[in-house]
Amino acid sequence: MAPQRPRGAGATKTKGPPAGAKPVPRAPGSPELYAALDLGTNSCRMLIAEPRGAGFHVVDSFSKSVQLGLGLERSGKLSRGSMTRTVQAMRICQQKLKRHKVKRMRLVATEACRRAVNALEFVQRVHRETGLRLDIIEPEEEARLAVISCAPLVSPKTENLLVVDIGGGSTELVWIDLSAVPRPDRPQAIMRLHSGFKQAASDIPEARVVDWISVPLGVATLREQFNDVDDDSARFALMSWFFEENLADFSPYHATEPTERFQIIGTSGTVTTVAASHLGLKRYDRTKVDGLRMTSDQIDTVIRSYLAMGPGGRRADPRIGSDRHALIMSGAAILQALMRCWPTNRLSVADRGLREGLLYAQMSADGVLDDQMI
């Protein structure tokens, strides 16, 4: 399975209610609300937020595992059951949007809908049954939105940055050279990439995208590739090496020795789950996970503990959660491959991604964010 090659958003204050919580009451005259929905291969997730300063404040959210891409690897189609589950989740999103009177929204679908032969039929069904219009975005936009959402986690010391977004159906990697950008301006230079990876000529030192790649292997699709392997450890090893083989066309594959000036930012449920396990959290706490730095050895220790547990132990581990235990090892296999290629003591954990980037891009386009972060 060949990775997709290139063809041819921002500082976020995301304190808000967890999924399923009651929406936060809003004062009369509050700013207009914005919504961002990310329909991936495994999950349907939405944020509703109001602009605040250079970022935004979340007032309501939704997240549900819908397994839209279940069986897609084998059939090339979205199954009837997967589409029905997803439409039911989208109905809940529609009710939240209506309750909050949201008018500015961006609702996107990613890899599962990019690959499915019946994706258009599904998008039409969603619109017919919920009134919501899904936009199937290209890999470059998905990668760009993930990058800008992580800008606040970029260290001023970083000269080479690798942003990795491990999804359900694909994994995006973006390598950025920040060496020409003055240290204090590096996070802002990342945020300016919302307009495109190829920046227009300018006198302002810019972040330079060395290369990016979208590998059509995420936690769900990679797991499906090796469903026929019964041995847990063997399956894990095969998944990790297979994913690394798909990185061969990524130009920075042999790029760097680990240094103080190199940073990886990982955004995904896999990375945040590994971080929560490392911290020993019995209940997930975003404030402790988002921005946490982990070393290669710490990540390896957690992955080894997952393997030692076996499928039954992982299923019962509250740090992993009932909705992620079946996919944590395929995600861990991707993470291990990345650490093998680019060992570092500076992997920053990002509990943020596509939805935050979508919100930033909309608010930036409307001019409702403070200028100093754009």
Q: Please report, as a single letter, which amino acid is at residue 271.
A: V
**Confidence class for position 37, pLDDT limits 50, 70, 90:** very high
**3-class DSSP state for residue 143?**
helix
Collect all residues with Cβ–Cβ distance below 8 Å to 262 and sequence separation of at least 6: 158, 159, 160, 161, 162, 256, 342, 344, 346
What is the distance in angstroms between the CA of the first residue and the CA of the last residue of the chain? Answer: 37
pTM of the model: 0.85
Q: What percent of the chain has a predicted confidence (pLDDT) above 90? A: 68
Token pair belonging to 65:
């595992």
Please, what CATH class does the domain formed by 146-350 belong to?
alpha beta
pLDDT, position 16: 44
pLDDT, position 13: 41
- Return the DSSP state at 242: H
Q: Is the pLDDT of residue 18 over 70?
A: no
Token pair belonging to 228:
């026929």
State the residue for tokens 């029905």. Answer: 84
**Confidence class for position 164, pLDDT limits 50, 70, 90:** very high
Cβ-based neighbour number of residue 245 at 10 Å? 11
Q: Is the pLDDT of residue 374 over 60?
A: no
- Return the DSSP state at 293: E
Residue range 318-327, pLDDT digits in tens:
888 777 888 9
**3-class DSSP state for residue 236?**
helix
SS3 readout for 3-41: CECCCCCCCCCCCCCCCCCCCCCCCCCCCCCEEEEEECC
State the Cα–Cα distance between residues 137 and 139, nearest whole angstrom: 7
